[in-house]
């Protein structure tokens, strides 16, 4: 396996592979995202337009099997910035972590930990950020599509030094695989001081 780093506009060179991987991995609970390339193009534009945006992608032969991203909070969309503004935080000191996605057969080998290390190393390189953060979808405990074997990622995130915020929340919209139209979901932020 090989890994590559893409910064800002370079992300555009692998946009189809990244979109396909996101659609495949986020179809599962808790995301249940019925992806479309139109939605993906719009979403990924934010990263391509940010000079400090970062993609770390893992390939097996020529196939992208894992990816993780991050971007300065200042370069994120209004719905991501809003809760931080409302909480009176300095947006230019925060780096936002996007997805961590890996095809199932490549999980459990430490790549998820590497994803955090690579992103935190990228952020540390700038020297002016004091916090990293990411958000996770808040699903009902008794959601009908929750697999019995599902284990929340909370313990893993805590082990990486992240703490769930009591106040920072955003609403993101997408279409769930079992619903006819897009609906809003609550996303809860996790933060780490660096
Ligand atoms: C998140 C993800 C990238 C982690 O990848 P990974 O390579 O399997 O993670 P690691 O091998 O580094 O394992 C890290 C730790 O988390 C635990 N872990 C991994 N996947 C887990 C899961 N789905 N649920 C709960 N714990 C999990 C592992 O047991 C390990 O703990 P340990 O060190 O105590 O053994 C992968 O599970 C994934 O793609 N999940 C689906 C997408 C997703 O939910 N992403 C997160 C939000 S964007």
Has this prediction a pTM greater than 0.75? yes
- In the numeric block, the tokens 């008794």 are attached to 142
pLDDT of residue 57: 98
H/E stretch holding 24: helix 15-25
User: Whole-angstrom Cα distance, residue 92 to residue 57?
Assistant: 26
pLDDT of residue 172: 95
In tens, the pLDDT along 64-117 reads 999 999 999 999 999 999 999 999 999 999 999 999 999 999 999 999 999 999
- Residue positions counted in the chain: 194
Class of the CATH domain delimited by 2-193: alpha beta
Atom of ligand 1 nearest to the CA of 113: 12
Write the burial class of residue 31 (CB in 10 Å: 0-12 exposed, 13-18 middle, 19+ buried).
buried
User: Whole-angstrom Cα distance, residue 184 to residue 130?
Assistant: 30
Domain boundaries along the sequence of the chain: 2-193
In tens, the pLDDT along 130-160 reads 999 999 999 999 999 999 999 999 999 999 9
Give me the helix-helix angle, 37-48 and 15-25, nearest 10°.
120
To test ligand 1's pocket by mutation, which of 55, 98, 103, 108 has the most ligand atoms within 8 angstroms of CB?
A: 108
pLDDT of residue 33: 97
Q: How far is CA 73 from CA 59, 70, 92, in A?
A: 27, 9, 7
Residue 33 near residue 27 (C-beta atoms within 8 A): yes
To test ligand 1's pocket by mutation, which of 25, 101, 107 has the most ligand atoms within 8 angstroms of CB?
A: 107
> To the nearest whole number, what is the mean pLDDT of the chain?
97
Q: Is the CB of 105 under 6 A from ligand 1?
A: no
């Amino acid at each position: 396996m090989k890994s590559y780093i893409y910064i800002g506009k370079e992300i555009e060179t692998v946009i189809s592979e990244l979109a396909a991987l996101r659609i495949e991995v986020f179809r599962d609970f808790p995301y249940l995202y019925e992806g479309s390339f139109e939605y993906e193009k719009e979403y990924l534009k934010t990263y391509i337009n940010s000079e400090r945006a970062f993609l770390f992608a893992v390939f097996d032969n020529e196939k992208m099997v894992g990816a993780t991203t991050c971007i300065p909070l200042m370069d994120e969309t209004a719905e991501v910035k809003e809760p931080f503004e409302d909480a009176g935080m300095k947006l230019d000191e925060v780096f936002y972590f996007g997805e961590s996605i890996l095809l199932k057969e490549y999980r459990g080998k430490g790549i998820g930990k590497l994803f955090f290390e690579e992103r935190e190393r990228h952020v540390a390189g700038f020297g002016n950020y004091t916090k990293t953060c990411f958000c996770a979808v808040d699903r009902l405990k008794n959601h009908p599509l929750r697999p019995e074997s599902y284990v929340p990622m909370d313990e893993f995130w805590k082990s990486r030094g992240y703490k769930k915020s009591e106040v920072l929340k955003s609403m993101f919209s997408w279409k769930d695989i079992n619903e006819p139209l897009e609906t809003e979901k609550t996303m809860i932020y996790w933060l780490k001081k660096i």
